Structure 1
Amino acid sequence: MKTTTSLVGPVGLLLATDLVAGLLAVASDVNTWGEAWGSKALLAAPLPMIAVQVALTWLAVRRRSRVAAGLLATACLVSVASGFFDGGLGNDELTTGLAAYQVLLLTVTGAVGVLALMRVRELVTQRSVQKPSRDRWASSQSR
C-alpha cells in the first residue's frame, strides 16, 4: 500500500476534526475565538501544531522525506500525549459529548502518527531497493 495517498486523506480528516473541535469549543463557551486554536484550547490542537503537521505531511509526501515523516509521527505522538497530560481530557468544563469528541480527535491524531511511521518505513524500503550497496557495486565492477 502506498502511504502517499493514505497519509494525505487522514491529515485532511485531522484538519477538519481540529476545525470542528475549535468551533465546538466556541459554541459551547469552553473557549473564546482567540483561545479555540491557541495554547488555551481545550478541544483543538493549537494552530502552530496544525501548521507543522500540514507542512511535514507535504514534505513527507511530495519531497519523499523520511525525516519529515518521522517528525510528523513524533508531532502526532506529542499531540496525543499532550491531550492526556495538559488537563484538557476530562476537564470539568467539557460535557460528555465534548469529551467524546476530544477522544475522537486524539484517535485521528494517533492514526495519522501510525501512517507517518508507515511512510518512513516505505521510504526507507524504497531507498534501499533503489540504491545498490557498495558491496554489490564493487562486485559488479570486478566482473
Structure 2
Amino acid sequence: MDAPTAPSELFKRIEASFLRQGLMQHLGARLVRVEPGLCEVALPYSECVNQQQGGFHGGAMGALADIAGGYAALTQVAPDMEVTTVEYKINFLAGFKDGELRAVGRVTRAGKRIIVTTAEVLHLSPDGKQSACALMQQTIAPIPKTY
C-alpha cells in the first residue's frame, strides 16, 4: 500500500482560503482535490442543506458549484490575488436525498480580467452510485487579496 502523499503547495494555498469560508464550514463542505485549473469540493447530506421535501436545497447546490468553480479559478491567479464571482448560471438536473454532493470546477479560459469556469455537481448515493445533479457556468474576476 502506498503511503499518503503530503498536500501540494497549491492545495495548501486553496485550502487556506477555503477554511475562511464561513458558509462552507457551516454547511460541512470539505475540499477534496486541487489541481491547476481544477477544484473538487464535497458536501454531505444533512439538515443544514436540505429543503422542505427532504432533498438537497438548490441554494446549497449552487453554493457548492460556485465554490468549486471559484477555487478552480483561484489556482490560475498569483498567490497575492483572490477571486470573486461576477455571475453564474446553473441548471438543476435532478434532486437527491442522503449521500453527498461532489462539485468539480474546471477553468474553461483564464484571462487577465475574467476567468470562465464550469462546475459539474454529482450526487454520490450511500451505495456508491453517481448521478448528475447540476451544471454551472461561471464568470470570475481576479481581485487583490486583502487578508
User: Is TM (by shorter chain) over 0.5?
Assistant: no
Question: Rg: which structure is higher?
Answer: 1
More helix as a share of residues = 1
Q: TM-score, with normalisation over the residues of structure 1?
A: 0.30
TM-score by length of 2: 0.30
